[in-house]
Amino acid sequence: MGLDRSYLETSVWKPDLFKGKVVFTTGGAGTICRAQTEALILLGADAAIVGRNKANTDKAAAEMAQLRPGAKVISCAETDVRQVQSLVKAVEKTVRELGKIDFVIAGAAGNFLCDFNHLSTNAFATVVGIDLLGSYNTVKACFDQLRKNKGQILFVSATLHYYGIPFQAHVGAAKAGVDALSNALAVELGPLGIRVNCVSPGPIAETEGFKRLVREEKGYDKTIPIQRYGSVRDIADATVYLFSPAADYVTGTVQVVDGGSWHMGSRGSHHLYPHEVARLNAEQLSKL
């Protein structure tokens, strides 16, 4: 489901668009962030894939290096975005092996469905820690490189905090924070020549979030204005646009890529609502 060399023939982008650029991607072994990074590699960039799990991150980096002859793709495995020093080591390795960092994709995220009654304080903190603090730490660790190279930042956000989605309080709160962080940094870092944007995927087929939140139901795709589920390539194309010179005057934006889906209202977890809310809250709990 990721990208392959046919992208060069079938996309509208110039093959050498990102020649000489280096991208640093947290969550780069995951489905969406991997495709975003693959597009940049195919279009000439080298990449550092940052992840917690060693086997997954090493494997993804080795596979992605095969996308383009001469591509350099390194693995920065065993990096936890909640620990800024862990990211500093990954940045040092990237600069040592690839020379610099031009683009940062802050995409590492954690998600699970859980109602408030059963969601512990630590569970809430874990998701906010990965999604929001992790995004902040990523920019912190990359800041010297971004400043030096007039680099760019792309946060991976979501649309689920545009309304209340049951069982997603932790993720919605974290992603709302990511949008706020992105806006503030766009304003502060603009004078340094650093552009900052968010990309917010909607229902993208075959992703973890899709399986958990949407579930493929007959006819559900026809409730989306564009009449189909999204693909990881849709997110990759938006990423290419935002990093490309075509977006030189674009900063502080949230690029929603969802086929117009969110305009149709809150439907995430709708298959669980309201019967599961009633069932889960019937228990005398409120897990701390």
What size, in residues, is the chain? Answer: 288
State both tokens at 234: 């849709």
Active site residue 218: no
By the rule CB under 6 A, 56 interacts with ligand COA: no
Q: Using the Cα atoms of residue 166, residue 32, residue 256 and residue 105 in order, give the sign of their dihedral.
A: positive
Contact 13, 244 (CB under 8 A): yes
Query: CA-to-CA distance for 186 and 277, rounded, in angstroms?
Result: 38
| Least CB distance to ligand COA at residue 176 (A) | 16
| Least CB distance to ligand COA at residue 141 (A) | 19
Which one of the listed residues 11, 175, 182, 269 is annotated catalytic? 175
Query: CA-to-CA distance for 36 and 38, rounded, in angstroms?
Result: 6
Residue of minimal Cβ distance to ligand COA: 110
Only one of the segments 53-61, 63-71, 122-130, 276-284 lies at the binding site for ligand COA (rule: CB under 6 A); that segment is 122-130
Query: CA-to-CA distance for 94 and 150, rounded, in angstroms?
Result: 17
Placement of tokens 């065993």 in the chain: 78
Stated as kind and residue range, the H or E segment containing 208 is: helix 208-209
Measured from the CB atom, is 82 or 270 closer to ligand COA? 82
By the rule CB under 6 A, 209 interacts with ligand COA: yes
Size of the site for ligand COA (CB under 6 A): 12
| Least CB distance to ligand COA at residue 27 (A) | 8
By the rule CB under 6 A, 120 interacts with ligand COA: yes
| Least CB distance to ligand COA at residue 158 (A) | 9
Measured from the CB atom, is 174 or 196 closer to ligand COA? 174
Helical segments of 66-133, H only = 84-98, 121-128
By the rule CB under 6 A, 112 interacts with ligand COA: yes
Active site residue 175: yes
Nearest to 104 by CA among 174, 191, 195: 195
Phi then psi for residue 82, to 5 deg, are -75, -15
Select from 66, 122, 223, 227 the one that contacts ligand COA (CB under 6 A): 122
Select from 123, 169, 173, 250 the one that contacts ligand COA (CB under 6 A): 123
Three-state secondary-structure class, residue 199: strand
Select from 83, 117, 126, 253 the one that contacts ligand COA (CB under 6 A): 126
| Least CB distance to ligand COA at residue 86 (A) | 13
Phi then psi for residue 154, to 5 deg, are -130, 115
| Contact residues: ligand COA, CB under 6 A | 109-112, 114, 120, 122-123, 126-127, 208-209
Residues designated as active site: 157, 175
